[in-house]
């Protein structure tokens, strides 16, 4: 997945109202408001003064002319903060057969209705194989070493998705929860059970029901985000 326009660097002043961020452009020192496409807590990724990367646009329909895409971390690492990116990256990877556990499926359909008034991120099908329901979660929380964690705040919606995947397994289908780690400094994945105990309980229940858990890293640059290597799931 490539960004539509070249990113520009800025310094974060503050993030507020979840979807807004005041930043100072490095090019000319202007203070502008950028769209923050992330409803989560963004722990450790929204510190005032940190360097961020914005995607400018000249779309007359958009009130804000900059979208926050990346946060710059220590040692040259990057984190993607746009929660819409994982589905785009995973969609490209599924169609290209780049997810080993799911490479046997050639038919990839996004955003299909299922469960209790929900839409599954991807439904995979292939003659002779069970249909596979895939939910994708964005992961960018890091608190300890190289360990990525999910979620970064309470997510009742996430627990609901786990239960709906379990229901698909009960109907004879295959179901996968895919955690895409959208930062380049992590090589392991686990649940942040202390931040959302209910999600941890739902995860354990889903695993016992037969839901599979996959974690994959990303390769992030100022040009875009691509699927990376598998990451061990410790949960």
Is the same domain home to 109 and 143? yes
Q: Which of 45, 80, 115 is the last residue of a domain?
A: 80
pLDDT at residue 107, as a whole number: 97
Over 90: is that where the pLDDT of 229 sits?
Answer: yes
Phi/psi of residue 166, nearest 5 degrees: -60, -40
Q: Which residue, of 80, 112, 144, is where some domain finishes?
A: 80
100 in the same domain as 15:
no
Q: Is residue 1 part of a domain?
A: no
List the CATH number of the domain containing 176.
Answer: 3.40.1350.60
In a domain, 43, yes or no: yes
Q: Is residue 153 part of a domain?
A: yes
- Give every CB contact of residue 128 below 8 A, 6+ residues apart in sequence: none
Same domain? 114 vs 202: yes
**b (16+ CB within 10 A) / e for 66-80:** bbbbbbbbeeeebbb
Sign of CA dihedral 56, 178, 154, 168: positive
pLDDT for 161 beyond 80? yes
Question: Which class for 152: exposed (0-12), middle (13-18), buried (19 or more C-beta within 10 A)?
Answer: buried
Same domain, 108 and 67: no
Write the pLDDT tens digit of every residue in 85-143: 999 999 999 999 999 999 999 999 999 998 777 899 999 999 999 999 999 999 999 99
Q: How does pLDDT run across 67-85, given as a tens digit for each residue? A: 999 999 988 999 999 999 9
Cα 121 from Cα 181, distance rounded (Å): 17
53, 35 in Cβ contact below 8 A?
Answer: no
Alpha carbons within 13 A on the beta-carbon side of 159 = 14
Q: What is the pLDDT of residues 208-220, one digit of tens each?
A: 999 999 999 999 9
**pTM confidence score:** 0.95
Query: Do both 143 and 226 map to the same domain?
Result: yes
**Among candidate residues 57, 80, 103, the one where a domain is terminated:** 80
In a domain, 74, yes or no: yes
Same domain, 99 and 200: yes
Question: Structural domain of residue 190, as residue ranges?
Answer: 85-230
In a domain, 130, yes or no: yes
- Block residue for tokens 């807004």: 20
> Are 104 and 119 members of one domain?
yes
131, 91: one domain: yes
Same domain as 94, residue 180: yes
Check: CB of residue 94 under 8 Å from CB of residue 105: yes
Is 116 within 8 Å of 156 (Cβ atoms)? Answer: no
Look at residue 2 and tell me if it is in a domain.
Answer: no
Do 71 and 114 fall within a single domain?
Answer: no
The answer to whether residues 103 and 57 belong to one domain is no
Domain tally for the chain? 2
Distance CA 33, CA 24 (A): 9
What CATH number corresponds to the domain at position 58?
Answer: 2.40.50.580
| pLDDT score recorded for residue 82 | 96
97 and 47, same domain (yes or no): no
């Amino acid at each position: 997945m490539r960004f539509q326009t070249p990113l520009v660097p800025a310094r974060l002043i503050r993030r507020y109202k979840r979807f807004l961020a005041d930043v100072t452009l490095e090019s000319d020192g202007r203070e502008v408001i950028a769209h923050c496409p992330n409803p989560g807590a963004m722990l450790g990724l929204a510190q005032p003064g940190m360097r961020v990367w914005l995607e400018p646009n000249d779309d007359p329909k958009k009130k804000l002319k900059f979208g926050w895409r990346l946060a710059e971390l220590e040692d040259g690492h990057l984190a993607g903060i746009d929660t819409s990116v994982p589905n785009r990256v995973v969609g490209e990877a599924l169609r290209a057969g780049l997810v080993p556990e799911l490479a046997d499926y050639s038919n990839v359909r996004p955003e299909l209705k299922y469960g209790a008034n929900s839409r599954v991120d991807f439904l995979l099908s292939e003659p002779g194989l069970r249909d596979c329901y895939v939910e994708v979660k964005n992961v960018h929380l890091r608190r300890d070493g190289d360990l990525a964690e999910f979620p970064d705040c309470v997510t009742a919606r996430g627990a609901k998705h786990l239960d709906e995947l379990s229901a698909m397994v009960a109907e004879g289908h295959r179901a996968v929860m895919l955690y895409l780690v959208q930062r380049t400094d992590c090589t392991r994945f686990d649940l942040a059970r202390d931040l959302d105990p209910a999600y941890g309980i739902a995860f354990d229940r889903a695993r016992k029901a037969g839901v599979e858990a996959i974690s994959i890293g990303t390769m992030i640059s100022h040009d875009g985000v691509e699927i990376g290597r598998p990451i061990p799931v410790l949960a």
